[in-house]
């Protein structure tokens, strides 16, 4: 696969060939999960919303399988300070939002935000499009295997506060799980990992992937972490 900036106009392929065996449950989950099993917020039927994509990148670190996350800069207009997957809105040059546009956008945004080399990423699946009402984003989650890891870090401090990986073992550890409660009344899964509180859309996706991949361990859903109005 070529660098994202060199793929404009050319196909960006999905391939399950040569994936590590531990990713098999994730592959099966991606192939079978229904939109409503992931979120109650689905894209508007009238086509409204800004098309975007995120890269859910699985790698293998010193402690086994891990996910790449970043923390958004606190100065950003939307989702400031939140840990998230790399990603963002589709650009016209990314191509068809209903075709491989989201694949290209996920790689391009990850390269822009974390400095990773997309040529080392093997895309293997796409989840159903979901919706983030607070920002009106229609999000396509794109899954990848970090076949050839490359150095990552903050590219633009105005966009990103830090880039980090989280072992899947820490995400499945019941001690690191909680329910985030917002003053608006919204409640959702949260993860306390790598000195960060992962909540909202990102935590929801991780929670569902762990569940449908069969990796979830019983955890105390009564353990609450309050959020403030600025979140």
Domain residue spans of the chain: 21-165
Mean pLDDT of the chain: 91
Q: Is the pLDDT of residue 8 over 90?
A: no
∠ Cα 186 27 86 (to 5°) = 55
Percent of the chain topping pLDDT 90: 77
The mean per-residue pLDDT over the stretch 16-44 comes to 95
Q: What is each CA distance from 208 to 37, 60, 171, in whole angstroms?
A: 8, 20, 12
Distance between CA 126 and CA 13 in Å, rounded?
11
171-196 residues labelled b (16+ CB within 10 A) or e (exposed): bbeeebbbbbbeeeeeebbbbbbbeb
Which tokens go with 84?
Answer: 């998230």
* Mean pLDDT across 72-86: 75
Res. 76: pLDDT tops 50: yes
CATH class of 21-165: alpha beta
What is the reported pTM?
A: 0.92
Q: What is the pLDDT of residues 163-189, one digit of tens each?
A: 999 999 999 999 999 999 988 888 999
Best CA proximity match to 49, nearest among 117, 136, 124: 136
In whole angstroms, give the CA distance from residue 215 to residue 65. Answer: 12
Give yes or no for residue 7 having a pLDDT over 60.
Answer: no
């Amino acid at each position: 696969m070529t660098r994202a900036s060199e793929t404009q106009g050319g196909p960006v392929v999905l391939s399950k060939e040569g994936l590590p065996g531990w990713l098999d449950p994730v592959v099966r989950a991606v192939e079978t999960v229904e939109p409503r099993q992931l979120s109650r917020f689905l894209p508007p039927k009238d086509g409204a919303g800004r098309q975007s994509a995120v890269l859910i990148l699985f790698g293998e670190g010193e402690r086994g399988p891990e996910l790449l996350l970043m923390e958004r800069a606190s100065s950003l207009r939307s989702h400031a300070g939140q840990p998230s997957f790399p990603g963002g809105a589709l650009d016209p040059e990314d191509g068809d939002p209903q075709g491989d546009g989201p694949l290209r956008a996920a790689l391009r945004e990850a390269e822009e935000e974390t400095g990773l080399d997309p040529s080392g990423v093997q895309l293997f699946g796409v989840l159903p499009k979901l919706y983030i009402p607070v920002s009106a984003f229609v999000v396509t989650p794109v899954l990848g295997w970090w076949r050839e890891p490359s150095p990552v870090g903050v590219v633009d401090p105005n966009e990103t506060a830090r880039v980090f990986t989280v072992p899947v073992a820490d995400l499945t550890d019941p001690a690191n799980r909680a329910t985030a409660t917002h003053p608006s009344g919204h409640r959702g899964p949260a993860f306390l990992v790598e000195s960060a509180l992962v909540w909202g859309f990102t935590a929801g996706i991780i929670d569902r992937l762990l569940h449908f991949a069969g990796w979830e361990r019983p955890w105390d859903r009564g353990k609450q972490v309050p959020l403030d109005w600025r979140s």
